[in-house]
Amino acid sequence: MTLTLHEPSGATPLTPDELLGLKVKHITNRGELNELEGANIVEGLTWLDRRPKSFDVLTDGAAREVHKRLFGKIWDWAGAYRMTEKNIGVPIWHISTEMRTCLDDARYWRENGTYEPLEATARFHHKLVWIHPFANGNGRWARIMADVYLTGIDKDIFLDWSGSGTLVAESDHRARYIAALRAADGHIFEPVTEFVRDIAQ
């Protein structure tokens, strides 16, 4: 079986070795994979809703556990930091350090009110995507991490990341999202903050 994935712009291609980590061997295209990953993500979100109060998402182990819960039934490398360089993300030997810094910064912002909640969430989400710690699923994982983070600041705000559509396929909404993240890569945070404000409900 040969799996060929046609990724939307801004997505991270998987290496042949990473593709071998697919647990569900009958998958032949991106649509089928998206469907199975979506079902796994629903299970992961259910687990997150029921997680123990002691589970602190702003730890290295918790960040990896969330990714494993979201994608672990599909990929055998889920929850493990990537071992290959990508077209996006920090070099592999910087991942652990950058993740600790990111999580510590997010905790500091939350505890000290450094930024208003939506800006703090936007900056946290961007930093996770910028690090790109996993072989795949980084965007979806980072959006869910941002949701959990925001809930810890203000439980009454909901973020509709999909914009009543989707972020996993080509669309104007996805193009704006990718452009906002790329601007933040250059330390221009207004577009990603405005994006998050616009999807807040």
Q: Which domains does the chain have, with CATH numbers?
A: 16-199 (1.10.3290.10)
Q: Report which DSSP code applies to 8.
A: P
Average pLDDT of the chain to the nearest whole number: 91
Q: Report which DSSP code applies to 21.
A: T
122-134: pLDDT as tens digits: 999 999 999 999 9
Q: What does the pLDDT average to over 44-49? A: 95
Residue 2, pLDDT above cutoff 70: no
More confident residue, 197 or 51: 197
Residue 182, CB-side half-sphere exposure with 13 Å CA sphere = 11
Share of the chain above pLDDT 70, in %: 92
Phi, psi of 184 (to 5 degrees): -65, -30
Please name the amino acid found at residue 78.
A
Q: For residue 7, what pLDDT is reported?
A: 57
Closest by CA to 119, choosing from 88, 162, 89, 157, is 157
More confident residue, 1 or 98: 98
Q: For residue 176, what pLDDT is reported?
A: 93
Q: For residue 150, what pLDDT is reported?
A: 97
* Range list of H helices, the chain: 16-19, 30-49, 60-71, 95-112, 117-131, 138-151, 172-185, 190-199
146-180: pLDDT as tens digits: 999 999 999 999 999 987 666 666 788 899 999 99
Which residues fall within 8 angstroms of residue 45, CB to CB, at 6 or more apart?
Answer: 70, 144
- Buried b / exposed e over 190-201, threshold 16 CB at 10 Å, is ebbbebbeebee
| pTM for the predicted model, two decimal places | 0.91
Q: For residue 1, what pLDDT is reported?
A: 43
Q: For residue 166, what pLDDT is reported?
A: 67
Q: For residue 163, what pLDDT is reported?
A: 78
91-107: pLDDT as tens digits: 999 999 999 999 999 99
